[in-house]
Structure 1
Amino acid sequence: MSVNGGTVSVARVSARALLGCGVVAGPLYVAVVLGQAFTRAGFDITRHPASLLANGGPGWVQTLNFVVAGVLTVAAAVGLRRSGLVWGARLVGLYGVGLLLAAAFPADPGAGFPVGTPADYAEISARGMGHFVAGTIGFGGLIAACLVVARHYRSIGRRRLARFSAATGVLFFAAFAGLSGGAGSRPTIIAFDLAVVLAWTWLALVCADKRRTASSAGADEA
């Protein structure tokens, strides 16, 4: 094997591994959130955003969940960049940065969680404001990434993925806007929970698609 050939092979394997990070990031994140949601005393998944799980004694679990998800998402963004996406990859990377910032600035307690917090508690601390900024940065990047990737798929004739990408971006924007203006109502929290699952599904599908493309390219050149 030539030196150049070896270099190309290593680069290809690295890209596939990075894209694999995007495939597993969402299922891992959701599984950890659900595991906490059904075991943490006082937490109601229809009333409390997942970010509140970073409070209380076991709050380190959700903080670590944000860190792992953020690192995996940034890795996926590098893989997407190597697959040929430029702005889409940068925006996915911004989403990953938002997750890391969410770990650094935990959400304030609220709506009776953790146990002992008044049900009407709604004070916003400096860290709580930092969490809101982190969400705005990360979710803004995610929404824009969906729309940019939708345009990419339209340009190469992949209409189903284009529609799914665009729909994910629009629905996530609507859910985030509803959560921000809904004062923590059950419908807005449930809608946002579903939108988060949808967004992670989108990232996993895009990374899996680009990973298959990389595999096909490798087979053609073998």
Structure 2
Amino acid sequence: MRLTMILLGCGVAAGVLIPALLLIDGATRPGYSLWHNGASQLGTGERGWLQTANFVIGGLLLLAFAAGLRRALPPGRAAVWATFLLVVCGLAAVVAGIVPTDPALGYPPGRAEVVTTAGRIHGLAGLVLFVALAAMPLVPARGPHGGSRGWTVYSRWSGALVITFAIAAGVAFRLDAQGVVRPAPAGLLEHAALVVGFAWITVAAARLLRRNALREV
């Protein structure tokens, strides 16, 4: 039981660490705009190592949370899918941290905008991450462990908002890159998707922690 509690606590840590560090670093990074630039671009330029560590450590915490989730949830299809999606999310975060994205939208300043193999790999990892973040809240919304109606509604809205914000961020990025809308709010929309997705992970982990603590008592 103690190991399960520790592993579930890793979910709370990951859910808070990743978006908080992204927002704080983005707000204080010279030349970077939370409105304009994507979250992945914090892995490049000045203090790029900080976001590399953030994604890698956060991804490992998500993998630990997946192990705790598998131990805490009752057997069933929903438990299998929730654990699988969380593993995918964690692995995608680790890859996104190790493999940096390409310069884009004027960041890092003075760097030419190019498309590299590393950038494509990072982009694929980012896509997988957002798909997993959007899908995870929908699994427990249908599962027998979903809980109250309020939790179900919150989970469904979280999944819908993640995918909506992520798609809108992609559209904004394209419009900006093509010079149609400048500066487009690609960064704002992408950060919003991440905040919503990781907020759900934090709340889900906290609920499971509370449930297991009550069982221990």
TM-score by length of 1: 0.86
Root-mean-square deviation (CA), in Å? 1.7
> Which consecutive residues of structure 1, in runs of 5 or more, have no partner in the other structure?
1-11
**Corresponding position: 1:90 with 2:88:** no
Taking CA–CA contacts closer than 8 Å with sequence separation of 6 or more, which of the two structures ends up with the larger relative contact order?
Answer: 2
8 A contact 2:29–2:46 mirrored in 1: no
Q: CA deviation at 1:156?
A: 5.1
4+ residue runs over 6 A deviation: none
8 A contact 2:40–2:101 mirrored in 1: yes
8 A contact 1:46–1:189 mirrored in 2: yes
Q: Which AA in structure 2 matches 1:158?
A: S
Q: Which AA in structure 2 matches 1:77?
A: A
Task: Report the equivalent of 1:44.
Answer: 33
Aligned residue pairs, count: 204
Q: CA deviation at 1:79?
A: 0.9
Report the Cα distance in structure 1 between the residues aligned to 2:9 and 2:38, rounded to whole angstroms.
Answer: 27
> Which consecutive residues of structure 2, in runs of 5 or more, have no partner in the other structure?
74-78, 177-182
TM-superposition CA deviations, 1:54-108 (whole Å, max 9, x none):
1124211110110011011111111111111221121111111110010122111
8 A contact 2:141–2:153 mirrored in 1: yes
Q: Which AA in structure 2 matches 1:124?
A: V
Match of 1:179 among 161, 164, 169: 169
Report the Cα distance in structure 1 between the residues aligned to 2:115 and 2:88, rounded to whole angstroms.
Answer: 24
8 A contact 1:98–1:139 mirrored in 2: no
Task: Report the equivalent of 1:218.
Answer: 216
Match of 1:198 among 196, 199, 209: 196
Matched residue SS, 1:186: coil
**Corresponding position: 1:116 with 2:124:** no
TM-score by length of 2: 0.88
